[in-house]
Structure 1
Amino acid sequence: MPDASDLPLTAIDSHAHVFSRGLNLASERRYAPGYDAPLGDYLGQLLVHGFSHGVLVQPSFLGTDNRYLLSALQTVPGQLRGVVMLERDVERETLEHMAGLGVRGVRLNLMGQALPNLAGAEWRPLLERIGELGWHLELHRQVADIPTLVRALQPYGLDIVIDHFGRPDARRGLGQPGFAELLTLGGQGKVWVKVSGIYRLEGEPEENLAFARSALCALEAHYGAERLMWGSDWPHTQHESAVSFGTAVQQFEALGCSAELRQALLVDTARVLFGFE
């Protein structure tokens, strides 16, 4: 594929995955795909829906074997950025190599896992190296635990990205445990939120959409548009039969964003955070 480093930036999808069934799967996983989600298919979705750039996030079922993601970054230089999963003892040289390919963050996917003690000494080397590189740490966990995790990370001064609205339960409303405190984190200036995965909010479709509208309004008030971004979550793992890239776009459009908020969600926030030229 051609070098995409000079591709005009129209819109950025800040959260997607690529993978193949032939890859080695993590021994501890909640899910295994029964299909392939190759880079070519993803780039086709971007093109069809008017997106020029994207961010690839390491799927949990591949664990810390990031080779497929890194290969994708090399295939279209400049068009994509990456968020990887890492072992705590990863060498700095490995991280510097990843940075050169376009990696800008590390994901902690803690869904279905015991809550780690991020304040523990065993986490210090990795967290310090992330900070030295200027990368962010991405948290995927139910919203009730997000404030505890963020507080543990504060001594490191890291930029922190929260996945999928913080994974709240739409059926429990904005007053559910953790969500109000998630809103207060917006005043600290070191936390971003991906307003993605509306279909993962546990309720019925209309219930999820209504919650997402209210949550987005609250997040904008507390974070400012410059700390919020949208992602497709393609290929919508575990929801493949009901959701497509087009569905995710339709859900985004149904939020009824102002022109200013739309520009931030689709372009400005991710451009700055991920270092797109």
Structure 2
Amino acid sequence: MSETCSAPITGIDSHAHVFSRALNLASVRRYTPGYDATLGEYLKHLQAHGLSHGVLVQPSFLGTDNRYLLAALQQAPAQLRGVVVLEREVSRDLLNDMDRVGVVGVRLNLMGKALPDFRDSGWRDFFGHLAELGWHVELHRHVEDLPQLIRQLIPFGIKLVIDHFGRPDARSGIDQPGFVELLELGLSGQIWMKVSGIYRLAGTPQQNLGFARAALPLLEQSFGRRRLVWGSDWPHTQHEDSVGFGTVIEQLQALGCSAPLMHSLLVEAPQALFGFENRTV
């Protein structure tokens, strides 16, 4: 997708959601919103915190009805990219249409679901289309199950993006088996990690931040600086009462990143992964 009037990139939020409670929700869901999270509100948060661009991710409770997200992308095409949720039988024509409006990936939110077997032949065409389009596959699952899923996906040659530090349990420390395997797989050069959702790591706020601070240098060593991206996870579903946009900015600052790492998290890595073009002032 080409940019016609892109603004200079001051910072990219790599993970946020927009929705309305009036939308048709998925019949099977883990969460039901009692409020609206509009594009207008989101863009105000970006501006207030010195960020210029964002990536909208389809929330699980909307299922595969991506219309609200696609409409949002078309309201600010130079500023936004999208990650959708799809059935694997989706047509190539629909994928092409989504590609033209700024979709760059597909999310597989596997929380609370039976694990798929990506070696099944039914996935071959789906992942083949994504690889041809240059899209990524975003995985959301607890860390103990991620290594086997990643090993099944690597042969497809697609870019893989892991949500929220891989959803480890902060109380189990950085030596927990799934996380150690994830670090090893990061050496493949095919995987990106979202440094996001610190408050979702199952511990107290202090334990969660402590884990994130200990994990970040290990992730940088394994994945490389250019394969780590930061996301706000706005509007922080299921944690709205205790977490706001300012909270996650404070958590990012509390990680103690070096200036080069911070610039890579907010600009260089997401710019490359999500296909944003920059304009010099």
Q: TM-score, normalised on structure 1?
A: 0.98
Q: Distance in 2 between matches of 1:87 and 1:100?
A: 19
Q: Distance in 1 between matches of 2:137 and 2:77?
A: 23
The number of residues matched between the two structures is 275
Alignment match, 1:196: 196
Whether 1:91 aligns to 2:94 is: no
Give the conservation status (yes or no) of the 8 Å contact 1:4–1:79. Answer: no
Q: Distance in 2 between matches of 1:78 and 1:275?
A: 10
Q: 1:4 to 1:256 in 2, by over 3 A?
A: farther
Alignment match, 2:54: 54
Whether 1:131 aligns to 2:127 is: no
Deviation at 1:224, TM superposition (A): 1.1
Find the residue that maps to 2:252 and give its secondary structure: helix
Percent identity over the alignment? 64
* Larger RCO (alpha carbons 8 Å, 6+ apart): 2
RMSD: 1.0
Q: How does 1:181-220 map to 2 (within 5 A)?
A: 181-220=181-220
Counterpart code for 2:151: R
Q: 1:61 to 1:4 in 2, by over 3 A?
A: farther
Deviation at 1:177, TM superposition (A): 2.3
Find the residue that maps to 1:188 and give its secondary structure: coil
Alignment match, 2:161: 161
Q: TM-score, normalised on structure 2?
A: 0.96
Give the conservation status (yes or no) of the 8 Å contact 1:194–1:231. Answer: yes
Alignment match, 2:175: 175
Structure 1: 5+ residue stretches without partners: none
Q: Distance in 2 between matches of 1:56 and 1:259?
A: 26
Deviation at 1:6, TM superposition (A): 2.3
Deviation at 1:210, TM superposition (A): 0.5
Give the conservation status (yes or no) of the 8 Å contact 1:229–1:264. Answer: yes
Find the residue that maps to 1:105 and give its secondary structure: strand
Q: Distance in 2 between matches of 1:77 and 1:174?
A: 39
Structure 2: 5+ residue stretches without partners: none
Counterpart code for 2:62: L
Deviation at 1:126, TM superposition (A): 1.0
